[in-house]
Chain A
Amino acid sequence: MNIALSSSAALYLFFIPAILILVVLVFYFYHFFRKKEREIIKEKEESTRRLYELAILKELGERVGYSLNVEEILQIITGSLRQFIDYTAVGYVVITPEKIKISTHIERSVGSSFLKEMKERMIASLSALTNKSFDSSAVEEAVSGAIVIDEIKQNIGSLFNIPLVISGAVVGVLTVAHIDAGLYKEEDMTILYKITGQASEAVSRLQEVVRMEKGKLNAMVESMGDGVLMVDAEYRMIVANPAIKKIIKFSGDKDINIFNFVDALGGKFDIHGRLEEALVNKNSFVSERINIEDSFFEIGVYPVLHSMLKGGGQMLGAVVVFHDITRDIELERVREEFTGMIVHELRSPLDGIKKIIELVISGSIPAGSDKFKEYLNMAHQGSSSMLELINDILDLSKLQAGKFEVNKEKASIREVVENRIMFYKISADSKKLSLRAAFSGNLPPSCEFDPQAVKQILNNFISNSMKFTSQGGEILVSVFVYEPGRSLPEDIDKSRFSVYPEAIDIKIKVPSLCVAVSDTGIGIPEDNIKDLFHTFKQAKLSPIDKESKGTGLGLVIAKGIAEAHGGTIGVVSKESLGTSFFFTIPIN
């Protein structure tokens, strides 16, 4: 019995703890699984929330697209909120340049005191965030959703504000409100913060891109030489670059408007009509030349359309471009003048020759008579001057085509100059001009140049000097080697010439042969000097004698020859005192 008792007791002793352990275990596992379950639910909630966040962001991305419209973004956020937060009303306030806009959506009917309080709290929050007072601002309000029932006296129980920040500045506030108190927890707000934060960031980034692109465009338009203006579809000025303000002489701080242009253009260009044509009928227009003050312009008016992806276009405004064609017209005029002059210079002698022959044929000049000889001489002179001109024109066209060739050979500059002095001596004597040459001791016996081409330059310089120097005057051809940085050689007697190049006038970088033709002539007015070596421009000078006139081509050709040698050409002149033309040829 005892044994039986004790064995059953042992059995009990064994079972009780086992059951106890089992119960504990069951308890433990129950709790463990409950805990797990709770965690899983929590995680599920968390991931649902994340999914929601993602969904809302994706939706934002899709719906906002590239919109920079803050209001639109706020509308999208408030519209999506219902799936996730319980609220009585949701709204936003945004700052626009003219006013503040409040939009509220009521989910469940409330009284007007609820709405009023919500509005006040939104503005107060915006005011606190921006540190600005909106007491005097115009307010635009919109209410949507459930109806307002004044009998409902419930006030706001819970409310929270989320600021919308774009590029570091608060531009609006999003507000969620509920009649029940203590409803919104930290995590609800955090998620909304996140969503608005990310939307803000996207907009800020987009705005930055747009700002940069706009900056580039602005800089481009600002720096353009052509005048540019743009108006929107209501003729309001959107862009007017500095060039266009200069054209119509608009200054001051006032805003420029379309009437400034209407006034400045007067009857010359119907800017309003052309803009209307562009804005309404989408037609471009480019004007003929239009003269404004001293300048000429081609004015183009073009519609500006924003082409949509779906096709079609939205009228953004119209652009007007003032293209300055003054230089083109000046060039055209100079070219015409030049052609006219060449035609005249060729026609005159040829026509003279023709008329002489006419006379001879008609028999009014008997062959062999003195008159006959005189006329023959005239015909000879005429044909020579024509030939000279034709040669000049041919040289010029070669120079312009870059086909002018210099045939350099070892030659003595002294010989070439002396030859030219001899050639011009007779006519200098007959005009009572002293013509002589001076050679510096630093000249090498020979150097590399094209003697024919150099002769041509000398012909031009010497004959010019003779044309513009009156009786008793002097002409000196001086030749020396000039080394940059040193002073000019002292062994040339230029005491009788008050106009002579200084070291500073001779702009060369390597030691060069320098030939100067100086005279005591009438000199060249300062204004004309810069044009001397340019084609199509002849200094309007009055030669001393009536036969002397020229096309001005000689100096252009002389410049071409000197440059083809790697040298330079230059002139110093003082009115009524004299002129000194010089050219250089590098010696190597």
Chain B
Amino acid sequence: MKKILVIDDDQFFSKTLEAALPAGKYVLISAEDGEVGLEKLKSEKPDLVILDLMMPKLDGTAFLKKLQESKDLPKVPILVSSNLSSVKKISDVMAMGAVGYVIKSDESLQSIVQDIERVLGEEGNKES
């Protein structure tokens, strides 16, 4: 069972994603903003973080920055999923160490699930 932490203030997304993920293979934990996300990243040690960008309190970009600067936070692949589609934003977050960028409204749940499986698969290969 792989743990996925969804940091997104949009409850639709975590709820629908949860329903779309194949049952029994993944555990989904959600955090409604970046601050809660940081806490859960430490306590839950997820295998993958799905990060939204526009959120109250600590937004996605600030979250990535904290992750970059911190030494004691676990190194987890970050998949950014947002409805922001500006090229600059995408290249900015990719430069900050995200493994992928999903424009939510451009992708179906199925293709997002595939992205997740691909990232987790790649990470798994790296470890083995």
Q: Which residues of A contact B (CB under 8 A)?
A: 336, 340-341, 343-344, 347-356, 358-359, 362, 364-365, 371, 374-375, 378, 382, 542-543, 546, 549
User: Nearest 3 CB-CB pairs, A to B?
Assistant: A352-B12, A351-B105, A347-B83
Told that A352-B16, A359-B19 touch, could you supply 16 new A-B pairs with CB distance under 8 A? Answer: A336-B86, A343-B84, A344-B54, A344-B82, A344-B84, A348-B10, A348-B104, A351-B105, A354-B105, A358-B109, A364-B20, A378-B11, A382-B12, A542-B57, A543-B56, A546-B9
Beta-carbon nearest neighbor of A343 in chain B = B83
Give the residues from 90 to 110 in chain B that come closer than 8 angstroms, CB to CB, to chain A.
104-105, 108-110
Measured between alpha carbons, how far is A375 from B19 in the docked complex, in Å?
A: 10
Complex Cα gap A343–B84 (Å): 8
A interface: dominant SS: helix
The reply to whether B19 and A364 contact each other, CB–CB distance below 8 Å, is: yes
Residues of A within 8 Å of B54, CB to CB, are 341, 344
Chain B interfacial residues counted at CB < 8 A: 24
Please name the residue on chain B nearest to A355 by beta carbon: B16
A-B contact count (CB 8 A): 70
Nearest-neighbor residue (CB-CB) of A347 within chain B: B83
Contact of A352 with B10 in the complex, beta carbons under 8 Å:
yes
Give the chain B neighbours of A343 by CB distance below 8 A: 83-85
CB closest residue in chain B, given A375:
B15
* A and B contact pairs by CB, cutoff 8 A, 19 listed: A343-B84, A343-B85, A347-B104, A348-B83, A350-B105, A355-B20, A356-B12, A358-B16, A358-B110, A359-B19, A359-B20, A359-B109, A374-B15, A378-B11, A378-B15, A382-B12, A542-B57, A546-B9, A546-B32
Distance (Å) between the CB of B84 and the closest chain A CB? 6
Q: Which of A340, A347, A354, A362 has the most CB of B within 10 A?
A: A347
A365 to B19, CA, bound (A): 8
Q: Is B47 among interface residues, defined by CB-CB distance under 8 A? A: no
Q: Which residues of chain A are near B16, meaning CB under 8 Å?
A: 352, 355-356, 358-359, 375
By a CB distance below 8 angstroms, the chain B residues around A355 are: 12-13, 16, 20, 108-109
**Separation in Å of the A461 CB from the closest CB of chain B?**
21
* B11→A351 contact, CB < 8 A: no
* CB-nearest residue of chain B to A382: B12
Q: Are A349 and B19 in contact (CB under 8 A)?
A: no
Q: How far is the CA of A340 from the CA of B82 in the complex (A)?
A: 12
Of A350, A351, A542, the most chain B CB neighbours within 10 A belong to A351
B1-35 interface code vs A (CB 8 A; 1 in, 0 out): 00000000111110110011000000000001100
Q: Complex Cα distance A349/B104, Å?
A: 11
The answer on a CB contact under 8 Å between B13 and A352 is yes
A339: nearest chain-B partner, CB-CB: B86
